[in-house]
Each structure stands twice: as C-alpha cells, then as structure tokens.
C-alpha cells in the first residue's frame, strides 16, 4: 500500500512539474510572438546569427545528406534489383529526401549543433546575471537575445533544407549512375518527374516548424538555467533531448496531416 502511495505521489509531482513547464513555455512563446514584429529589428544580429547557424553548419549537413542519399540508393537497390525496377531508385531517393529526410536530418543537426550552443550561451548569460543587466538598462532580453536567433534559425533552416535535398539527390545520383549503371538521362528524368511543388512546399513547411521548435526550446532552456556550470550543462542536455523528441513528434503529426488527414 505504501509503495502504491509513493508511486502515485511521484506521478502527481511529475504531472504538476509538466503542467508548470508547459505553462511557462506557453507564456514564453507568447512573449516571443509579440516581440517578433515589434521594433527595434536588429538586422546586424540576425545576419551574424545566420552566419553562425547556417554557414557554419554547411559542412556537416553536406556530409550527412550526401551519405544519406547514397545509403538510400544502395538499400533500395538491394530490393529493386530483384524485380528489375532499378530506375525507380531515383524517384525513391528524391521523394524521401524532399518529403522527410532532408527537413528532419537538417533540423536534428541544427538542434544538436546550434540549439545546444544557443542554450549554453544564453544560460551562461543567465547565471552570470548579464540578462539582469540588460533589464536594468531597459533592454528587453527576449527582443535582444531571442528574436534575432529566431529569424536567423528560420532563414538558415529553410536554406539548409533546400541544400540538403539537393546534396542527397547528388548522393543517390553517384550510386545510381556510377555503381548501378543507370543511364544518366534516365536517372535525371526519374528524379524530377515524380516530384511535385507540394512535396517541396510541405518539406519547407516542416523546416519552418522545426526552426520554431529549436529556437523556442533552446532559448527557453537557456533562460531558465540554474546557477552554476552544472545548471548550464543540464539546460543544454535538456534542450537537445526535448528538441529531438519534438522534431520527430512534429514530423509525424505534419506527415499525417499533409498526406493523409488534410488531403
């Protein structure tokens, strides 16, 4: 009986903690939404953050997308060759990259690389009372710290997703043409023929949602970091884990809505 009571108490505490977290997150999102369209617009900071997030992420996004396209082509070739349907490998790679893998993998890379850095940066400012100093100088921390990173993440993630889609198709092309001996013109034709504008548009919609998730979670966790280096480390870990989970969950919901429910 005592174990059941303790278990219910722990469950209740976790539920209350979750409700408090979601409430604080909702309030934070409301404040961010207000300051996104409220001057001053710090264009210099936006471009600086876009360079840190977008340009610096190009090498790792390139490698992951290239090898993903190659692996997709190799794995699909194993089955397609059994039914003499190698020419459809190009379509499979293109649709997989544009609809799912391009946006998701790019978002995961940016969340792990840049989201963690944003949390650590803002968390360090929080524990060293730099954010309090901004408030004493009548500077809103959300307008100064969060909104430039929001716009930078949104722009950078959309551009990186388009780039990742292209590089993934290049990886599939390398395997399809030079390993599987599919004719060049046939591979190009089967890559772009099944693609529709809605596929690219839906993939970019996903990347926009993922950018919002990464920005909100990383900045929120940084703002609520506890005192000391240990608190910043916990906030960074929490940012990465929660961003990854939310990206996958949002991808599942968006895919279901775009291709099944909302049709």
**Concatenated DSSP letters of 111-152:** IIIIIHHHHHHHHHHHHTTHHHHHHHTT--HIIIIIHHHHHH
pLDDT of residue 82: 79
- Do 4 and 100 share a domain, yes or no? no
Number of domains composing the chain? 2
Residues 15 and 46 in one domain: no
pLDDT by residue (tens digit) across 56-102? 899 999 999 999 999 999 999 888 877 888 888 999 999 999 999 99
For residues 82 and 182, membership in a common domain is answered with yes
Considering the domain architecture, whether residues 23 and 116 belong to the same structural domain is answered as no
Q: Which domain holds residue 184?
A: 42-261
Do 26 and 47 have their domain in common? no
Question: Which residues have CB under 8 Å from 151's CB, separation 6+?
Answer: 36, 46, 50
pLDDT at position 262 over 70 = no
Contact 248, 105 (CB under 8 A): no
Do 13 and 130 have their domain in common?
no
- Residue 84, burial from CB neighbour count under 10 angstroms (0-12, 13-18, 19+): exposed
Q: What is the CA radius of gyration of the chain?
A: 22
**Closest by alpha carbon to 219, among 130, 104, 123?**
123
**CA angle centred on 243, ends 241 and 255, rounded to 5°:** 125
Q: What is the arithmetic mean of pLDDT over 98-122?
A: 94
- Pair 21, 103 in one domain: no
Query: C-alpha 262: how far from its chain's center?
Result: 23
Residues 27 and 128 in one domain: no
Q: How many CA atoms lie within 13 A of 201 on its CB side?
A: 5
Are both 93 and 29 inside the same structural domain?
no
Instruction: Please report which confidence band the pLDDT of residue 208 belongs to, taking 50, 70 and 90 as the band edges.
Output: very high
Amino acid 38: pLDDT: 81
Q: What is the pLDDT of residues 18-67, one digit of tens each?
A: 899 889 889 999 999 998 888 778 889 999 999 989 888 999 999 999 99
Please answer whether residues 243 and 213 qualify as being in contact, where contact means their C-beta atoms are separated by less than 8 angstroms.
yes
- 223 and 111 in a common domain: yes
**Eight-state DSSP code of residue 61:** H
CB of 88 within 8 A of CB of 190? yes
Same domain, 99 and 211: yes
- Looking at the fold, whether 32 and 2 belong to one and the same domain comes out as yes
């Amino acid at each position: 009986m005592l174990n059941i009571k303790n278990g219910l108490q722990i469950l209740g505490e976790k539920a209350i903690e979750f409700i408090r977290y979601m409430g604080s997150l909702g309030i934070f999102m409301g404040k961010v939404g207000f300051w996104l369209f409220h001057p001053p617009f710090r264009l210099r900071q936006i471009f600086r953050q876009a360079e840190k997030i977008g340009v610096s992420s190009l090498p790792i996004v390139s490698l992951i997308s290239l090898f993903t396209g190659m692996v997709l082509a190799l794995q699909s070739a194993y089955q397609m060759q059994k039914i003499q349907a190698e020419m459809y490998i190009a379509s499979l790679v293109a649709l997989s990259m544009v609809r799912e893998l391009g946006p998701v993998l790019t978002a995961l890379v940016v969340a792990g690389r840049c989201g963690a850095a944003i949390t650590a940066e803002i968390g360090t400012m929080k524990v060293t009372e730099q954010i309090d100093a901004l408030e004493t100088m009548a500077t809103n921390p959300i307008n100064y710290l969060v909104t430039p990173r929001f716009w930078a993440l949104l722009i950078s993630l959309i551009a990186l997703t388009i780039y990742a889609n292209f590089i993934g198709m290049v990886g599939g092309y390398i395997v399809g043409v030079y390993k599987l001996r599919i004719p060049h013109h046939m591979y190009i034709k089967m890559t772009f023929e099944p693609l529709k504008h809605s596929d690219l548009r839906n993939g970019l919609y996903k990347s926009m949602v993922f950018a919002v998730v990464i920005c909100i979670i990383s900045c929120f966790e940084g703002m609520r970091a506890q005192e000391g280096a240990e608190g910043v480390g916990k906030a960074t870990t929490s940012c990465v884990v929660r961003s990854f989970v939310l990206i996958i969950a949002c991808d599942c919901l968006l895919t279901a809505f775009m291709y099944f429910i909302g049709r």
